DNA sequence: TAACATTAGTTGCACGTGCAACTAAATGGG
DNA sequence: CCCATTTAGTTGCACGTGCAACTAATGTTA
């Protein structure tokens, strides 16, 4: 039962809080990237990170790993290709597929990403204990599970 | 010290987790709105909610309250005006300002929003205790504070 | 092998975002 | 009172998003 009769306590739920926090973190991340001369958006950084972990993934795999529509990913890659951070190479076994690789320039920006991320984390996690961090992650995982389990049963 | 030498434990931090969770929640919210025939985006819903709380706010105030650039807000309002959910009324004391009001149709969609939000929350918060919810919100508030306090000192 | 279905990627469309430059109205100071 | 500054809102631009329709290549199956 809510304090306000039939009304739903949306503001007291996690939803708006993660939304707002994400917005603030994203904004600050972009600001730090600019300060460090990192010519990347957050989204491009995420793709770069995946390629840094596993070079040569194709667009389909990258889209899946980054939770993006394949069309969004394609356009993201086009921007990054124009900036010479990655290149596409048609796969000769399956000529529909493009394998995606980091260029030396791509590796270089990604390297410059590290001190920026470090600064971000230092600000973000100030006065937050390791236990609190783990607690939050545990519950966020639960939220994700609640939705993805739901979807799987449809 | 990290397990991987000089590398930064970005994945073990809260950042990516809130980002991913927000993405999933947003996606599911939109899905539920469609299912309930609520012709709104999440962003439009947030604006509608503010107007439901306080009708007649001007664009400047709405932009501030919803953490949006005034230009984003203006465009959001234009879409909602086209759908007859809100209308702008020039303030006669300050003729630069537009006061924004809900239409009856706007109130009606907002009402249909409630069962949708209820369903969202029920799915989202399954197996999450009230204490866990409060714990997460407390820490997210701390993250927000870390950034906003930083900005204030600049 | 010919016909059909599936899959990888691209493109058009509508939506949302912030920044910078702009207009028009209000305000403040000489 | 007039000019400079500030303020509310709009617009152009570049970015990112998902969906649906499309092309081209691959796989399947009769």
pLDDT in tens, A100-140: 999 999 999 999 999 999 999 989 999 999 999 999 999 99
Higher pLDDT, B100 or A149: B100
Res A65 pLDDT > 90: yes
Residue A58 is encoded by which pair of tokens?
């194709």
Q: How far apart are CA B65 and CA A96, in angstroms?
A: 47
Distance CA B14 to C1' C25 in A: 46
% of residues, chain A, pLDDT over 70: 91
Per-residue pLDDT of chain B (154 residues; tens, 9 = 90+): 444 444 566 778 888 899 999 999 999 999 999 989 899 999 999 999 999 999 999 999 999 999 999 999 999 999 999 999 999 999 999 999 999 999 999 999 999 999 999 999 999 999 999 999 999 999 999 999 998 875 554 4
- Contact indicator for B128, B117 with CB cutoff of 8 Å: no
Residue A114 is encoded by which pair of tokens?
């590290």
CA distances B118 to A2, A92, A151, B111, B146, Å, are 12, 50, 18, 12, 31
**In a 3-state reduction of DSSP, which class is residue A99?**
strand
Q: What dihedral do alpha carbons A25, B69, B44, B119 form, nearest 10°?
A: 10
A111 to chain B, any CB pair closer than 8 A? The answer is no
Residue B46 is encoded by which pair of tokens?
């947030």
Cα distance from B70 to chain A (closest Cα, Å)?
Answer: 16
Q: What distance, in Å, lies between the first and last C-alpha atoms of chain A?
A: 29
Residues 6+ apart with CB under 8 A from B78: none
Q: Which residue is nearest to nucleotide C26 (CA to C1')?
A: B94
Cβ contacts below 8 Å, chain A against chain B, sum to 150
Backbone angles phi, psi at B94, to 5 degrees: -125, 100
Q: How many beta carbons lie within 10 A of that of residue B16, not counting itself?
A: 16
What is the sign, positive or negative, of the torsion defined by CA atoms of B91, B96, B102, B106?
A: positive
Contacts of B123 in chain A (CB under 8 A): 146-147, 150
- Contact indicator for A14, B124 with CB cutoff of 8 Å: yes
Predicted TM-score (pTM) of the model is: 0.86
The residue of chain B nearest to residue A151, with distances taken between CA atoms, is B28
Distance CA B60 to C1' D6 in A: 14
- Contact indicator for B112, A123 with CB cutoff of 8 Å: no
């Amino acid at each position: 039962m809510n304090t306000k009769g039939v009304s739903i306590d949306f503001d007291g739920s996690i939803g708006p809080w993660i939304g707002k926090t994400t917005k603030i973190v994203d904004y600050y991340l972009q600001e730090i990237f600019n300060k460090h001369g990192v010519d990347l958006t957050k989204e491009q950084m995420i793709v770069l990170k995946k390629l840094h972990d596993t070079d040569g993934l194709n667009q389909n795999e990258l889209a899946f790993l980054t939770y993006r529509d394949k069309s969004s990913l394609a356009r993201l890659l086009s921007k990054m290709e124009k900036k010479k951070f990655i290149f596409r190479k048609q796969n000769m076994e399956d000529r529909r597929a493009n394998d995606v690789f980091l260029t030396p320039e791509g590796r270089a920006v990604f390297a410059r990403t590290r001190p920026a991320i470090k600064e971000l984390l230092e600000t973000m996690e100030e006065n937050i204990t390791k236990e609190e961090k783990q607690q939050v992650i545990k519950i966020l995982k639960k939220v994700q599970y609640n939705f993805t389990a739901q979807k799987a049963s449809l």
